[in-house]
């Protein structure tokens, strides 16, 4: 019997009784306006990230992958570790896809620059011919215009 009494006390502990004389005004429910819905809450997965020096940290991510390995991070970046002399601090673009692309097609870039110089010279040769002896022709006729009658 005591257990039932304790449950009753626990159940109504947060609510004042009518004997205490406390009245809480009823609050109108707030309507959710169109376009003002609650933001989506995305699930965060636990992800273990292995840094370049071998240390492992656990972080939350929306991407559902359990393990990630970082090739370049704050441990081997000269930007974050300027005091370390063993890191290559010169050209950071010596590795990666973009540099491979530049090395592969670097020969085409030099030829295209020479072609553009020759192309601009050949275009400049004909610029003086463009405007000479040109007379505009009047095509069509007069354009009809609609007159508005003013109401009085």
Residue whose tokens read 């110089």: 117
Q: Which residue from 107, 83, 106, 103 is spatially nearest to 93, judged by alpha carbons?
A: 103
- Give CA–CA dist 105/91, Å, rounded: 19
Q: How many CA atoms lie within 13 A of 94 on its CB side?
A: 5
What's the pLDDT at 137? 77
What's the pLDDT at 90? 54
67: which strand partners? 48
Instruction: Identify whether the C-beta of residue 65 lies closer than 8 Å to the C-beta of residue 47.
Output: yes
Sheet containing 67-69: order of strands: 56-61, 45-50, 67-69
Give, in degrees to the nearest 5, the angle at Cα 49 between 44 and 54.
165
pTM for the model stands at: 0.34
Render each residue's pLDDT in the chain as its tens digit; 152 residues: 455 554 444 444 445 555 556 666 676 677 778 888 877 889 999 999 999 888 999 999 999 999 999 888 888 888 888 888 877 655 555 667 888 888 888 888 765 556 566 666 676 677 667 767 777 777 777 776 777 777 76
The beta-carbon contacts of 55-62 under 8 Å, at least 24 apart in sequence, are: none
Sorted by sequence, the CB contacts under 8 Å of residue 63 that are 6+ apart come out as 45, 47
Instruction: Identify whether the C-beta of residue 31 lies closer than 8 Å to the C-beta of residue 22.
Output: no
Burial class (CB in 10 A: 0-12, 13-18, 19+), 50: middle
């Amino acid at each position: 019997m005591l257990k039932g009494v304790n449950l009753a006390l626990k159940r109504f502990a947060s609510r004042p009784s009518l004997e205490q004389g406390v009245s809480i005004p009823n609050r109108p429910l707030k309507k959710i306006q169109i376009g003002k819905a609650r933001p989506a809450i995305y699930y965060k997965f636990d992800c273990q990230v292995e840094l370049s020096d071998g240390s492992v940290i656990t972080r939350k991510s929306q991407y559902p992958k359990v393990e990630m390995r970082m090739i370049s991070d704050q441990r081997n970046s000269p930007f974050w570790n300027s005091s370390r002399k063993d890191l290559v601090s010169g050209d950071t673009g010596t590795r990666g896809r973009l540099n491979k692309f530049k090395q592969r097609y670097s020969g085409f870039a030099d030829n295209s620059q020479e072609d553009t110089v020759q192309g601009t010279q050949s275009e400049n040769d004909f610029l003086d011919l463009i405007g000479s002896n040109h007379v505009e022709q009047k095509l069509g006729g007069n354009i009809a215009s609609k007159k508005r009658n003013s109401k009085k």
